[in-house]
Amino acid sequence: MAKYSLIFFIITLTAFLTINSVQCNSSEEEKSHHFTMGFMQGGDRLLYRGIIVKKSKILQVRTKDITFPEIAGIPVGPTITFIKATDQYQNGEGGYASIYEGGVGQKTVTMHLKSQRGHGFNFLIEIYGH
């Protein structure tokens, strides 16, 4: 009887740890709203790094557009190969990043940052190219 109890205990413990591990991994993935586009290539260098923050306002959706490079006119300079927007809020209340214009393979990019209603956002934006 003790043999069966030990086997039952091991099976139950294994099932519990497996289910708990899956739940932890899925909830961690759902909490962040990171955005990436493109791939890092040999010879790429950091073209832009900035922290963009908008504080929350009650019942409002906060937005901000980021343009790289900020100089208006004819785009000259390196070609963008990789864009990364890292959501600094890890609790699921961060914002969302998307591309409006340009992007990977182009010389300019305009990103749109948007918060959830009643929340702010905090993104670390990195743009690489060559």
Domain count, the chain: 2
Answer yes or no: do 22 and 82 share one domain. no
Rounded (to 5) percent helix, strand, coil in the chain = 25, 40, 40
Answer yes or no: do 27 and 61 share one domain. no
List 54's β-bridge partners, or say none.
121
Convert the pLDDT of each residue in 26-37 to its tens digit. Answer: 444 456 789 999
What range defines the domain where residue 14 resides?
1-31
Q: Cα–Cα distance between 23 and 33 in angstroms, integer?
A: 18
> At which residue do the structure tokens 């019942």 appear?
59
Answer yes or no: do 124 and 71 share one domain. yes
Output the pTM of the full model. Answer: 0.72
Answer yes or no: do 43 and 85 share one domain. yes
Answer yes or no: do 38 and 72 share one domain. yes
Answer yes or no: do 89 and 123 share one domain. yes
CB 113 within 8 A of CB 52: yes
Answer yes or no: do 47 and 61 share one domain. yes
Answer yes or no: do 21 and 38 share one domain. no
Banded pLDDT at 13 (limits 50, 70, 90): very low
- Closest alpha carbon to 44 in 84, 100, 101: 84
Convert the pLDDT of each residue in 36-51 to its tens digit. Answer: 999 998 899 999 999 9
Q: What order do you get walking across the sheet with 109-114 strand by strand?
A: 63-68, 109-114, 96-102
